[in-house]
């Protein structure tokens, strides 16, 4: 067993290692859901969040570089840090169990941050912050997954800048280029080559990478705070400019093969541009350093013995604090598990499979008949959509678009974390359309004469389901399906364009989530991700139409509402044939919960 004795302090290596391992296990146990979500997102979205596995190593490296400064004096652990540990745990519990506005991964991360800050003070003391303060902030700033609801508005802004920047560069170099929203179109020899600047092309990944890289380089390579801040800020325009050049490259390559703008090659181009971007960043750091003439540093005589780990008050006091906080974390983990069990809460949602593929939806609903083939999306658009289970069809009256048509888009999500539905208010603006006024709700007064009341209750709302008979469009088999509970309303927005000011494009949508209807993209998360439900799903149903004002006057919204109502009457029962029967899902969940409770009771009795 290795021992170090300095100024009367005695640090024993193996007890120190065992104590730290136990404490780490207690932290992971207490904040298991937080770390589970972090690992899940990092492994399923490695291009966006894979770097969070590297950030802790960089933060540790920062501390290691200044280890002599950290150990030059005995560390002074402080019991005051325990207050922060407890405060963080309390906030984490609140972020797990409510109120509902606080139940979120980002709010849980704040509880972890406060608790870990207290842990640093408890074990190392307040004086250590001069060394570990920046690495600690760096760790949480770049290793915590930022939810889509926060990232999406920034992503859309970056998309817009990337598209406009690429259009400007191509135009300056003499290419015939048109820009509509975030879609670039190159014209050559009478042939057009469109390139959609999707979310994957926004540069968000490059921006996050550059901020993390720039912060690390500034901390290690520069001495003054203003120099470090300047270099970090310069990383933002560099990342945006390099991403513009990446979009330009994809646009030029798409003239030869549209596959160059999607898939693995799309990602490869982004990696290629990282190398010149890194060189530019190195040059910027050199320039920032040259803004100040540094005096030659005095040569410090080497210490005859390297500094050792010492604790004021003795090593036994450190072990006492370590074991105490380990017990606190373990106790809080047990407490949270008991509370979740008693309240029948579920933080990890299980996916619910579709009963039938959305592709099996009928191609004909009374007078509404599908025209043309379904629209196909490239890999980049599917990635930004967040699901591969969707359909995108056009239905026209008697199969004749001139009599009226609607574009139907249905997308299904289940078991995922913090999804952000793609809705017209967010996506159509990026496509070059201008919204006219605020979104409004339109009621869909569908015919309910064939609906049959049932005694089956939707647990979340306490309302009983109505059922209707559905005939399978291929097999002809009949079955009864439960319809979603709640008012059927359509969140509707009207858009126009400067290119065609007489045209009005109308987009409306509603959601079906856990057997209930909802018209709000914000409220749907509360339905689908109710923490008292073991399973979760939601389905977005969107109807889009185009109307000439000169033909329809100001009645186009009434026309649109009537068309959607008419199509929905036939569509809704067939759609519910494909979606999960939520009454069955709730019955399975209730049965499994009851079995678990019975098993636990038997175990306790034994």
Model confidence at 416: pLDDT above 60: yes
CB 503 within 8 A of CB 546: yes
Beta bridge partners of 186: 177, 193
- CA torsion 139-144-149-153 (nearest 10°) is 30
Number of structural domains (the chain) is 3
Beta bridge partners of 75: 311
Mean pLDDT of 568-597: 79
**pLDDT of the residue at 1:** 37
Assess whether 204 and 326 both reside in one domain. Answer: no
Could you tell me whether strands 464-471 and 478-483 are parallel, antiparallel, or unpaired per DSSP bridges?
antiparallel
294-322 pLDDT, tens digit per residue, is: 655 555 555 556 677 787 877 788 888 89
Q: What is the band of 600 on the pLDDT scale with cuts at 50, 70, 90? A: very low
**pLDDT of the residue at 418:** 57
Q: What is the band of 604 on the pLDDT scale with cuts at 50, 70, 90? A: very low
Phi-psi region of 566 (alpha: psi -120 to 50; beta: other; left: phi over 0): alpha
**pLDDT of the residue at 529:** 73
**pLDDT of the residue at 358:** 93
Q: What is the largest distance, in Å, between two alpha-carbon atoms of the chain?
A: 93
**pLDDT of the residue at 517:** 92
Residue 91 resides in a domain: yes
Assess whether 512 and 469 both reside in one domain. Answer: yes
Assess whether 137 and 162 both reside in one domain. Answer: no
Residue 300 resides in a domain: no
Q: Angle at Cα 577 formed by Cα 576 and Cα 583, nearest 5°?
A: 65
Assess whether 222 and 365 both reside in one domain. Answer: no
Assess whether 194 and 277 both reside in one domain. Answer: yes
Assess whether 273 and 390 both reside in one domain. Answer: no
> Helix or strand or coil: residue 496?
strand
Mean pLDDT of 591-596: 51
Model confidence at 595: pLDDT above 50: no
**pLDDT of the residue at 121:** 94
Model confidence at 601: pLDDT above 50: no
Assess whether 117 and 255 both reside in one domain. Answer: no
Distance CA 606, CA 585 (A): 32
How are the residues of the chain apportioned to helix, strand and coil, as percentages rounded to the nearest 5?
Answer: 55, 20, 25
**pLDDT of the residue at 262:** 58
Residue 417 resides in a domain: yes
Assess whether 220 and 117 both reside in one domain. Answer: no
Model confidence at 149: pLDDT above 60: yes
Assess whether 335 and 187 both reside in one domain. Answer: no
**pLDDT of the residue at 302:** 53
**pLDDT of the residue at 534:** 79
- H/E element, 111: helix 105-124
4-42 pLDDT, tens digit per residue, is: 444 445 566 778 888 889 899 999 999 998 898 888 888
266-284 pLDDT, tens digit per residue, is: 666 666 777 787 788 888 8
What average pLDDT does the chain have? 80
Assess whether 46 and 83 both reside in one domain. Answer: yes
**pLDDT of the residue at 506:** 93
Residue 598 resides in a domain: no
Domain containing residue 215: 149-290
Residue 478 resides in a domain: yes
CB 470 within 8 A of CB 448: no
**pLDDT of the residue at 369:** 93
How would DSSP label each residue in 530-558? -TT-SB-EEEEEEEEEEEEHHHHGGGHHH
Q: What is the band of 599 on the pLDDT scale with cuts at 50, 70, 90? A: very low
Which comes out higher in pLDDT, residue 175 or 283?
283
Mean pLDDT of 441-465: 89
Distance CA 36, CA 511 (A): 28
Residue 396 resides in a domain: yes
Lowest model confidence (mean pLDDT) among 251-265, 323-337, 418-432, 571-585:
251-265
Can you tell me which residue has the tokens 């400064």?
A: 69
Model confidence at 562: pLDDT above 60: yes
Lowest model confidence (mean pLDDT) among 118-127, 206-215, 380-389:
380-389
Distance CA 458, CA 533 (A): 12
Model confidence at 47: pLDDT above 80: no
How buried is residue 392: exposed, middle or buried, by Cβ count under 10 Å (0-12/13-18/19+)?
middle
**pLDDT of the residue at 8:** 41
Assess whether 240 and 108 both reside in one domain. Answer: no
Assess whether 458 and 538 both reside in one domain. Answer: yes
Distance CA 420, CA 533 (A): 20
348-389 pLDDT, tens digit per residue, is: 778 889 999 999 999 999 899 999 888 777 666 666 677 888
Distance CA 339, CA 343 (A): 6
Could you tell me whether strands 176-180 and 183-188 are parallel, antiparallel, or unpaired per DSSP bridges?
antiparallel
pTM, full prediction: 0.72
CB 558 within 8 A of CB 547: no
**pLDDT of the residue at 165:** 81
Q: How many CB atoms lie within 10 A of CB 584?
A: 13
Residue 80 resides in a domain: yes
Strand segments, DSSP code E, in 189-291 are 191-196
Distance CA 200, CA 48 (A): 9
Which comes out higher in pLDDT, residue 245 or 48?
245
**pLDDT of the residue at 291:** 80
**pLDDT of the residue at 606:** 30
Q: What is the band of 114 on the pLDDT scale with cuts at 50, 70, 90? A: very high
Model confidence at 196: pLDDT above 60: yes
**pLDDT of the residue at 46:** 73
Lowest model confidence (mean pLDDT) among 70-74, 125-129, 146-150, 522-526:
146-150
Residue 301 resides in a domain: no
């Amino acid at each position: 067993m290795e021992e170090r004795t300095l100024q009367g302090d005695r640090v024993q290596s193996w007890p120190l290692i065992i104590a730290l391992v136990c404490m780490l296990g207690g932290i992971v146990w207490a904040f298991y859901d937080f770390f589970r979500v972090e690992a899940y997102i990092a492994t399923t979205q490695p291009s966006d969040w894979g770097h969070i596995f590297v950030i802790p190593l960089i933060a540790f490296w920062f501390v290691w570089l200044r280890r002599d400064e950290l150990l030059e004096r005995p560390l002074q652990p402080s019991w005051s840090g325990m207050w922060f540990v407890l405060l963080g745990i309390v906030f984490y519990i609140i972020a797990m169990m409510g109120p509902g506005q606080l139940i979120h991964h980002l709010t849980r991360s704040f509880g972890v941050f406060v608790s870990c800050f207290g842990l640093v003070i408890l074990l190392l003391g307040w004086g250590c912050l001069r060394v570990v303060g920046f690495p600690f902030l760096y760790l949480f700033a770049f290793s915590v997954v930022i939810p889509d609801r926060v990232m999406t508005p920034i992503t859309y802004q970056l998309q817009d800048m990337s598209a406009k920047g690429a259009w400007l560069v191509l135009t300056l170099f003499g290419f015939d280029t048109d820009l509509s929203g975030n879609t670039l179109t190159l014209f050559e020899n009478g042939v057009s080559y469109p390139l959609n600047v999707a979310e994957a092309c926004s540069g968000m990944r490059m921006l996050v990478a550059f901020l993390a890289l720039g912060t690390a380089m500034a901390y290690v390579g520069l001495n003054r705070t203003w120099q470090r801040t300047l270099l970090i800020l310069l990383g933002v325009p560099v990342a945006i400019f390099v991403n513009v050049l990446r979009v330009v490259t994809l646009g030029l390559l798409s003239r030869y093969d549209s596959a160059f703008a999607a898939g693995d090659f799309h990602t490869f181009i982004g990696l290629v541009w990282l190398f010149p971007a890194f060189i530019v960043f190195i040059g910027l750091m050199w320039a920032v350093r040259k803004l100040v003439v540094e005096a030659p540093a005095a040569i410090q005589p080497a210490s005859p013995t390297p500094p050792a780990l010492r604790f004021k008050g003795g090593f036994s006091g450190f072990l006492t604090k370590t074991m105490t906080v380990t017990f606190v974390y373990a106790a809080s983990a047990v407490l949270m598990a008991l509370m979740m069990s008693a309240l029948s809460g579920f933080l990890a949602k299980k996916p619910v499979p579709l009963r039938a593929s959305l592709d099996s939806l009928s191609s004909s609903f009374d007078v509404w008949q599908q025209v043309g083939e379904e629209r196909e999306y490239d890999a980049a658009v599917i990635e930004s959509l967040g699901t591969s289970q969707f359909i995108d069809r056009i239905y026209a009256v008697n199969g004749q678009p001139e009599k009226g048509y609607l574009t139907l888009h249905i997308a299904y999500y289940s078991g995922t974390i913090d999804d952000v539905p793609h809705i017209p208010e967010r996506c159509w603006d990026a496509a070059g359309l201008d919204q006219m006024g605020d979104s409004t709700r339109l009621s869909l007064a569908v015919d309910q004469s064939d609906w049959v009341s049932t005694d089956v209750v939707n647990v979340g709302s306490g309302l009983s389901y109505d059922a209707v008979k559905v005939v399978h469009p291929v097999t002809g088999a009949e079955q009864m399906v439960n319809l979603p509970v709640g008012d059927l309303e359509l969140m509707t927005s009207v858009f126009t364009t400067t290119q065609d000011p007489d045209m009005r494009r109308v987009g409306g949508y509603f959601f079906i989530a856990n057997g209930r209807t909802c018209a709000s993209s914000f409220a749907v998360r509360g339905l689908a991700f109710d923490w008292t439900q073991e399973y979760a799903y939601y389905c977005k149903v969107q109807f889009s139409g185009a109307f000439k004002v000169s033909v329809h006057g100001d009645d186009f919204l009434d026309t649109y509402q009537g068309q959607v109502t008419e199509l929905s009457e036939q569509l809704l029962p067939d759609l519910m044939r494909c979606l999960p029967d939520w009454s069955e899902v709730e019955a399975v969940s209730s049965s499994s919960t009851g079995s678990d409770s019975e098993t636990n009771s038997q175990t306790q009795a034994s």
